[in-house]
Amino acid sequence: MEHYDLHCHIDLMPSMVDFAKETSKMGIGVLAVTTTPKAYEKEKPTLAEFNNIKVGLGLHPQLVSERYSEISLIERFIDCEDYIGEIGLDFNNRFYASKEKQLVVFENIIQWCSQLSGKVISIHTVRSDKIALDTIEKFSCADNNICILHWFSGTQTQQQRAIEMGCYFSVNYSMLASPNGKKLISTIPKERILIESDAPFVNEIQSVQQLARELASIKSSLAESYGNDVLESIRRNSKYILFGKTE
């Protein structure tokens, strides 16, 4: 794989198989997050033949209100799944009513991951960055798992805290559209930066190649020596996370 997408919703594409074939042909390694455990149950066997794709076991915070009971499926499957996501917290006005249920689901999953160790976890944090980081820290989850903050939009102080905890960051094109997003991207250590499409919500997966080049440009404008090897850093980070390889 020469390109990677660390947060993509293949189960929401018109055809999972056709899309998977396209990523395989293009040489793109993908972390395919799911929004519910039942979607995971369907997607995992459907995409089993595609070696470039890893399917995550997820329960999206925006769906917790209606799918709260599916936490039992997370508990059933989590022991044998290395990839977890999309999970997290979303305290936007539209989803704030389910805050307490979201917290129960998120805390349980983070605690299970900490107990089991060795998981790759894609985490959604909308207007909940501090509480999400508090939870990760409470269970020392980043000590023995790879925690990826998907589309991070918190403060620089929160970002620095996440960096010190050992978190990674998957960034997408929408982050380049805001001054805060660009500022956050510019200060992510090259050892912690990843690329995501968040397709189909943000853009198509083909854009990951162009995004990689633009990120390198941003880094280069700040420090030439830092920017010159950011593409290689993204590739190396992604390869390690998806396939356990450093070369």
Of residues 202 and 167, more confidently modeled:
167
Q: Residues near 2 by Cβ (< 8 Å), separated by ≥ 6?
A: 27, 235
- Nearest partner of 107 among 88, 83, 79, 90, judged by Cα: 88
- Rg of the chain over Cα atoms, rounded to whole angstroms, equals 17
Residue 223 confidence (pLDDT): 43
The burial of 245, by beta-carbon neighbours within 10 Å (0-12 exposed, 13-18 middle, 19 or more buried), is given as: exposed
Residue 220 confidence (pLDDT): 55
Of residues 1 and 200, more confidently modeled:
200
pLDDT of 192 higher than 90 = yes
What 3-state class would DSSP assign to 196? coil
Give the span between the Cα atoms of 195 and 38, in whole angstroms.
26
CA distances to 97, 112, 132 from 128, in Å: 14, 20, 6
pLDDT band at 204 (very low <50, low <70, confident <90, very high): low
Q: If residue 32 lies in a helix (H) or strand (E), which one and from where to where?
A: strand 28-32
Full-model pTM = 0.93
Give the span between the Cα atoms of 228 and 220, in whole angstroms.
6
Which fold does the domain 3-243 belong to in CATH? TIM Barrel (3.20.20)
pLDDT of 222 higher than 50 = no
Residue 226 confidence (pLDDT): 45
| Cβ–Cβ < 8 Å for 175, 182 | yes
Residue 206 confidence (pLDDT): 53
**Chain segment 106-164, per-residue pLDDT in tens:** 999 999 999 999 999 999 999 999 999 999 999 999 999 999 999 999 999 999 999 99
Residue 225 confidence (pLDDT): 43
pLDDT band at 247 (very low <50, low <70, confident <90, very high): very low
Residue 221 confidence (pLDDT): 54
What rounded mean pLDDT belongs to the chain? 91
| Cβ–Cβ < 8 Å for 207, 197 | yes
Tell me the mean pLDDT in the region 94-106: 98
**Chain segment 47-79, per-residue pLDDT in tens:** 999 999 999 999 999 999 999 999 999 999 999
Give the span between the Cα atoms of 54 and 155, in whole angstroms.
30
- Nearest partner of 199 among 208, 210, 212, judged by Cα: 208
pLDDT band at 207 (very low <50, low <70, confident <90, very high): low
Q: State percent of the chain over pLDDT 90.
A: 72
The two three-digit tokens of residue 225, written as one number: 């020596």
Give the span between the Cα atoms of 7 and 64, in whole angstroms.
19
pLDDT band at 224 (very low <50, low <70, confident <90, very high): very low
* Domain definitions of the chain by residue range: 3-243
The two three-digit tokens of residue 238, written as one number: 């992604």
Give the span between the Cα atoms of 1 and 198, in whole angstroms.
19
